[in-house]
């Protein structure tokens, strides 16, 4: 049975499950990525052109303009990286080392080997796995540094066997990058670090400058300027994915604890005003109690203004008749993070088709995946979990097919090859195999 919509004029939108209102919710979430405006595109294009044409000179000018820092040499001295742990709190150092160990352990299981098959008539087929030569990682700094993203991007690349990993991050006002970011770079095995931020950093990695080498692939998060730049250089080099605003979707039944659910929604809403936090529940009582908890917890949080805007604009609560309905809706939204706060979450895993990461049970909150569990936190957003996967070791290798046929093996199939080629009008293709057996006809 379809419910009537409860209300849609509250600060955090509340829906009953109805196709038309849910359709509007899904459309609204997808529209968040339309923040890229024409003036941003033009500005980024200009920055890329400047860096491409003038190299380091353009980087120095742009860094002075946007970061207020005068650079002489963009590369960070190795001694600063090696001594980074001395500049951070011991508790943070322990957390970094522990997280790095878990991330390394998880991603070691993703390593793929080259393989070959042979047949008696002289056929050898296979796949050769080759690491990328050089990868560039972008890490936001400034007021919202993300040291955890260093670990999540560099460790899989290292495990994949990437020969050189470089990292670009905005300079600090004191001319030194965030020490936690440098500590993570050391632990993760980053080879070189450069103090360059924004779209100019992406351009430098894509095209290379006098001091910053050109890379084969760029990974890492960033603001709309960074994301736009990554789109523009794709094809010159590879990129990880087009990341949109962060999001969490929680499926909960009446067994869920309201304070936990509220806290997890708020943990995502504090990212930025475009972040999305959604609750889908079978319990109207839980929904009301979560609303109360959100108000209570938000009042105590320093980023409450961001949280409020995020919840007002992109938050939602949906009341459904059944968990099955909740799962169907979750698959339609295809969230970045999906929490299953229900009695037996393991029973639902098989029904989840579209989600970047799935968190099972009340003691598996989304921040566990952000920092410590081990699976990668670089995840598909904005519905792209329908066809994208989390960042992994696979993203830092390429595969080449291996084909070797003996004369006997080719002789057995050459006429079929020629037939196919001629059907496509490619007579030179047909001749390429026919010429090898002209004396045997």
Question: Residue range 197-223: average pLDDT?
Answer: 97
What are the strands, taking DSSP E only, across 196-246? Answer: 217-219, 238-239
User: pLDDT at residue 199 above 80?
Assistant: yes
Q: Is the pLDDT higher at 353 or at 28?
A: 353
User: pLDDT at residue 350 above 50?
Assistant: yes
Which pLDDT value is given to residue 248? 97
210 classed as catalytic: no
User: pLDDT at residue 1 above 50?
Assistant: no
pLDDT digits (tens, 9 = 90+) for 100-138: 999 999 999 999 999 999 998 999 999 999 999 999 999
User: pLDDT at residue 376 above 60?
Assistant: yes
User: pLDDT at residue 4 above 60?
Assistant: no
DSSP code of residue 163: S
pLDDT digits (tens, 9 = 90+) for 254-308: 999 999 999 999 999 999 899 999 999 999 999 999 999 999 999 999 999 999 9
Kindly state the greatest CA–CA separation across the chain.
87
Catalytic residue among 337, 339, 366, 377: 337
Which pLDDT value is given to residue 410? 97
DSSP code of residue 118: E
336 classed as catalytic: yes
Which pLDDT value is given to residue 5? 44
pLDDT digits (tens, 9 = 90+) for 405-416: 999 999 999 999
pLDDT digits (tens, 9 = 90+) for 63-82: 999 988 998 889 999 999 99
Which pLDDT value is given to residue 25? 74
Which pLDDT value is given to residue 20? 66
What separation in angstroms does the CA of 144 have from each of 29, 65, 246? 24, 19, 14
User: pLDDT at residue 56 above 90?
Assistant: yes
User: pLDDT at residue 8 above 80?
Assistant: no
Which pLDDT value is given to residue 39? 79
The DSSP line for 239-271 is: ES------EEEEEE-TTS-HHHHHHHHHHHHTS
User: pLDDT at residue 209 above 70?
Assistant: yes
With 0-12 CB in 10 A as exposed, 13-18 as middle and 19+ as buried, what is 287? buried
193: β partners: 167
Which pLDDT value is given to residue 234? 97
Chain CA centroid to CA 348, Å? 24
- As a whole number, the mean pLDDT across the chain is 92
Domains defined along the chain, listed by start: 13-32+245-386 (3.40.50.1980), 38-239 (3.40.50.1980), 405-440 (no CATH)
Q: How far apart are the first and last CA of the chain?
A: 73
| pTM check: above 0.75 | yes
User: What pLDDT band is residue 36 in, cutting at 50, 70 and 90?
Assistant: low
Which pLDDT value is given to residue 108? 98
Calculate helix-pair angle for 323-333, 19-31, nearest 10 degrees.
30
What separation in angstroms does the CA of 219 have from each of 167, 298, 438? 10, 33, 52
Element (H, E) at 200: helix 198-207
Catalytic residue among 270, 336, 339, 362: 336
User: pLDDT at residue 176 above 70?
Assistant: yes
Please state, in angstroms and rounded to a whole number, the distance separating the CA atoms of residues 377 and 247: 12
Q: Closest by alpha carbon to 321, among 313, 329, 312?
A: 329
Report percent pLDDT > 70 for the chain.
94
The total of other beta-carbon atoms located within 10 Å of residue 432's CB is: 14
User: What pLDDT band is residue 19 in, cutting at 50, 70 and 90?
Assistant: low
Q: What are phi and psi of 357, to 5 degrees?
A: -140, 140
| 55-64-234 Cα angle (round to 5) | 45
Report percent pLDDT > 90 for the chain.
83
């Amino acid at each position: 049975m379809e419910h009537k919509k409860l209300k849609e004029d509250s600060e955090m939108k509340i829906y009953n499950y109805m196709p038309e209102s849910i359709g509007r919710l899904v459309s609204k979430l997808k529209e968040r990525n339309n923040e890229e405006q024409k003036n941003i595109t033009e500005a980024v294009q200009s920055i890329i052109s400047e860096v491409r044409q003038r190299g380091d000179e353009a980087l120095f000018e742009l860094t002075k303009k946007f970061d207020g820092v005068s650079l002489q040499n963009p590369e960070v001295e190795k001694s600063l990286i090696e001594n980074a742990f001395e500049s951070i709190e011991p508790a943070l150092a322990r957390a970094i080392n522990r997280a790095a160990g878990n991330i390394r352990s998880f991603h070691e299981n993703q390593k793929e080997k080259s393989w070959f098959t042979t047949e008696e008539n002289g056929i050898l087929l296979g796949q050769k796995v080759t690491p990328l030569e050089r990868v560039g990682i972008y890490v936001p700094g400034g007021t919202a540094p993300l040291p955890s993203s260093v670990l999540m991007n560099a460790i899989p690349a290292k495990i994949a066997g990437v020969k050189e990993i470089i990292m670009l991050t905005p300079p600090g006002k004191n001319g030194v990058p965030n020490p936690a970011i440098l500590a993570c770079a050391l632990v993760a095995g980053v080879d070189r670090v450069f103090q360059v931020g924004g779209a100019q950093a992406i351009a430098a990695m894509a095209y290379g400058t006098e001091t910053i080498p050109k890379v084969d692939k760029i990974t890492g998060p960033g603001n709309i300027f960074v994301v736009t730049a990554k789109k523009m250089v794709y094809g010159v080099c590879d990129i990880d994915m087009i990341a949109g605003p962060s999001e969490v979707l929680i499926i909960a039944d009446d067994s869920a604890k309201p304070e936990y659910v509220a806290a997890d929604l708020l943990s995502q809403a504090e990212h930025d005003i475009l972040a999305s936090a959604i609750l889908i529940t079978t319990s109207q009582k839980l929904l009301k109690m979560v609303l109360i908890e959100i108000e209570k917890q938000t009042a105590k949080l320093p980023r409450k203004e961001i949280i409020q805007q995020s919840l007002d604009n992109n938050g939602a609560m949906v009341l459904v008749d059944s968990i099955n309905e909740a799962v169907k809706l979750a698959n339609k939204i295809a969230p970045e993070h999906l929490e299953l706060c229900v009695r037996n979450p393991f029973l639902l895993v098989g029904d989840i088709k579209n989600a970047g990461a799935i968190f099972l049970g009340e003691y598996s909150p989304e921040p566990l995946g952000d920092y410590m569990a081990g699976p990668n936190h670089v995840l598909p957003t904005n519905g792209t979990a329908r066809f994208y996967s989390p960042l992994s070791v696979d993203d830092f290798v390429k595969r080449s097919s291996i084909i070797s046929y003996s004369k006997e093996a080719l002789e057995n199939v050459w006429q079929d090859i020629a037939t196919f080629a001629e059907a496509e009008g490619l007579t030179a293709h047909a001749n390429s195999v026919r010429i090898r057996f002209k004396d045997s006809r």
